[in-house]
Every structure is written in structure tokens, then in C-alpha cells.
Structure 1
Amino acid sequence: MLPESLIQQIAFIKEIDKLKYIQRKTRLFNSDRNENDAEHSWHLAMMALVLAEHANEPIDILKVVKMVLIHDIVEIDAGDTFIYDTQKNHSNADEERLAANRIFGLLPEAQARELIAIWEEFEAGQTSEAKFARTMDRLEPLLQNTSNNGGTWNEFGVDYSKVYAKKSIMKEGSETIWNYAEKLINESVEKGILKK
């Protein structure tokens, strides 16, 4: 007889495979192919491991990795909202909450509670781990857009002020990484791939 917890965990594992089908607006580095949410989450986890020393405060790196791996799972139901979307403007908190309860709810109760709490912590952005995880989440598309000559900035008419406003949150998780990012943003204006 198989443990009920295993059956629930396998159901969750099968469900989150759908994350591979959620397309993001950003494209892979130096590429025309759009990234999917699973690729994005994996990349953020690797970035967090590699860049952890640059966090403003001591962080629990395992918690950060958990955050970046699960933060977009809700998009299986709620869909990906483009960071510069002017219609939805990330006002889909109710949809995402329903998605979190449904998808994480496939797991055994204790695991579901843990992952929902980690997802909520990321969303709130108040702890040192959440701040650093959010820094990773804002850095990756910046690197992608600079590698693609403006990428989604040009495609969707996003200007410097919008990019700067959305990216400046990175300084809460890492002043060092923000300094690097700010330099990239300013260089993008100089190169003409980001309109001022």
C-alpha cells in the first residue's frame, strides 16, 4: 500500500509540469525564443545560489531558492502578467491566491501550508530572503533585455522611467546588484535600446 502523502506529492509534481507551458514576454539571452516560467524559475534559483554573497543582509539561501522556484507556480491558473502591463497592472492577487490554494493544496497539508507561507512571504517582500529573491526576479529580465537589444522594452514601448521604477526595488535586496543594474539601465539608454 502506497502512502497517501506520496500520491498527493506525485499529483502536485504532475500539476506543476504545466509551468513549462506558461510563456513569458522576455526572451532567452541573445535569442528570439520566449522563456517559459519553469526556465525562469530555474534560472533565478541558480542566480540566487551564485549571487547570494551580494545580499544586503544574511539570508537563508535554501528559503530563497524555494521562493524563486515556487513564486510563479500560481501562473499555471492565473497566467503570467507582464511586469509593464498597463491593463492588469498586477492586480490579480485574488486569482493568484485561488491558484496557490488549489495547486499547493494538492500536497499533504503540512507541505501545502509551508509552500503557501513561502509564496506569501515572497509576495509581501518584507523579509531579507524575499527582498533578495525579488532582486533576482527583477535582474534576470533586465539581463535578457540588454542581451536582446532592448527586447520587450522596444516591443512594448517601455521607457526608461518605467524600467527604472520597476527595477529600483532591487536595491532592497542587494545594493551591489542594484548598482550593477542601474549601470546597465543607463548604458541601455546610451546605446539607444531603451528610450528616455
Structure 2
Amino acid sequence: MDSRLHDHLTFLIEVDQLKTVLRQSPLAAADRRENDAEHSWHLALMVMVLAEYADEPIDVGHTMKLVVVHDLVEIYAGDTPIYDTAMGESQQEREEAAADRLFGILPGDTGRQLRELWDEFEARATPEARFAKAMDRLQPLLLNWMAKGGTWRTPGVTADDVRGRKAVIGEGSTTLFEAAMHLIDEGERRGWARS
């Protein structure tokens, strides 16, 4: 087998592990937590469906690439729950090391291309990356809403904490940010998030 093809196939087998990385977010359709692969698929679909609400014009295909690649590093770094401040302190270091290791499996040009997508998502310096990050924060909000609070009920987390963590949605879409704040406000009124 050609060594380039071998490296591509090795990478694709390796990233199958994404299906085993559990997130904190509950599923809306089943009584279990979602995994990172399900999360990434959902984000890609959200980009397709919600792109018209982006504050700036975006390349939908490029934005979909960003959301598909953004959590691959969690295969080695693990998921960092949004309200776990202790784990959050080491997140960047863990994920950088994971990106080096994972994208290093690929041939140089392909590895660089995927690493650039991951770096772009993390930097949020492009309209596509800002919208991708907005989807990354909106998606678990929707799941938590359907679960009548879900991770909003984490000990010590308040509705203001949720609002603060979701503020990044406003960097990609004013309309979706306003909708998110409406859902959080309603969740607080219903007792799904602490005041």
C-alpha cells in the first residue's frame, strides 16, 4: 500500500475514537450523554441550517470543516466540561499537545491543513470561526433546554454562569445570541437554572 494512503487510513481509524469521548450534554432523543462525534455532526448540520443568521457572510463549507475538526483533539485530551474551571486551566496545553500528536499522523500537507483548521477555530479570528464557535456553544444549550436544565444543574452553576459561557454566541450571530438568552431566561424562570 502507498505510504501516503496508509497514513490517511491510519488517521481515519484513529479518529474513530471520537465516538467514545463522552460529553456532559444530555441527548434530547435518548436517556444518555452525547459523544463528541454526535456533537460534531450536529454542529455541521446546524451550520447548514442556521448560516443565514450569521452576522457576517460565511463560507458554509469551510465553517462545516471547522466544526468537524474542532473536537478531534479530545481523543487524546479528553472533553473539558464547560463549568469545570480546574480542568479548564490545563485545557489549552492538553489540546495543543493532542493536536501535535493527532495531526502528526497524517502526511505533512494534510496534517498542516487540518491543524490550520483547528487553529482557526480556536483563534476565532475569521467570520467562519466565530460562527463555528457560536454553534459549539448553542448546540449544548439546546440539549440542556430539552433536558430541563441538564448541565445547568451542575452544583455551583447559576443562570448568570450559563449566560457568561454562552456570550460567545454573540460573536457569530446577534439573532442566535438573543434566542439563547431567551432560552436561558426562560430556564431560570422554570427553575432549571439557579438564580
TM-score bracket for this pair, using the shorter chain length: over 0.9
Q: Where does 1:21-36 land on structure 2 (aligned, <5 Å)?
A: 21-29=20-28, 31-36=30-35
Q: TM-score, normalised by structure 2?
A: 0.96
Deviations 1:28-79 (A, max 9, x none): 0154200000000000000001111111101111111111111111011111
| Paired residue type of 2:47 | A
| Paired residue type of 1:10 | L
Alpha-carbon deviation of 1:142?
A: 0.4
Alpha-carbon deviation of 1:90?
A: 4.7
- CA distance in structure 1 between the partners assigned to 2:160 and 2:88 by the alignment: 16
Q: Which runs of 5+ in 2 are unaligned?
A: none
Q: Where does 1:68-147 land on structure 2 (aligned, <5 Å)?
A: 68-147=67-146
Alpha-carbon deviation of 1:156?
A: 3.6
Secondary structure of 1:25's partner?
strand
- CA distance in structure 2 between the partners assigned to 1:46 and 1:80 by the alignment: 21
| Paired residue type of 1:60 | D
Q: Which runs of 5+ in 1 are unaligned?
A: none
Aligned residues: 195
- CA distance in structure 2 between the partners assigned to 1:120 and 1:158 by the alignment: 29
Q: Flag as ranges the 4+ runs of structure 1 deviating above 6 A.
A: none
- CA distance in structure 2 between the partners assigned to 1:177 and 1:153 by the alignment: 19
Alpha-carbon deviation of 1:89?
A: 2.1
Kindly report the root-mean-square deviation, in angstroms, between the aligned alpha carbons of the 2 structures.
Answer: 1.1
Deviations 1:100-133 (A, max 9, x none): 1111111111111011011001011121011000
- CA distance in structure 1 between the partners assigned to 2:191 and 2:93 by the alignment: 38
Q: Where does 1:1-196 land on structure 2 (aligned, <5 Å)?
A: 2-29=1-28, 31-196=30-195
